[in-house]
A and B are shown apart, each in its own frame.
Chain A
Amino acid sequence: MDELLNDEQKQLRDSAMRLCAEKGGAKRARSLRDSGQELDRDALDAMREAGWLATMVPEERGGLGLGASELYLLLEPMGRYAVIAPLLESAAVAWALARSDNTDPALSRLLDGKSLIVPALQGDGCNFRNATQGFIGHVEDGKLVAKGTVPFVPFAASADGFLIEVATSGETMLCVVDGKAPGCAVSAARNVDGSASGSVTLTNFSIAPDAVVAKGDDALDRASAVADLLALGTSVQLLGICESAMTMTLEHVRTRKQFGHPLGSFQALQHRLVDNYVDLEVNRSLLHRICSVWSDGGAAPAMIAGAKARNARVSTEMLRTGLQLHGAIGYTDEHDIGILWKHALVLGARYGNELTQSDRFARLTMEEA
Chain B
Amino acid sequence: MSEANTQAVEKYRNNFLKEVEERVEEGEWVKMCMQCGVCSGSCPFGPHWAHPPQEIFMMIRAGKRDEVLTSDSMWMCTSCYNCIVRCPRKLPITHIMHGLANYAHRLGLAPKGQPTREFGKMFWNNLVATGRVNELKLSLSLYFKDGFSQGIKNAMAMKDVGLGMLKAKRLNPFELFSPHGCKDRKGIHAMLKKAREIEDRRKHLTS
The answer to whether A and B assemble together is no
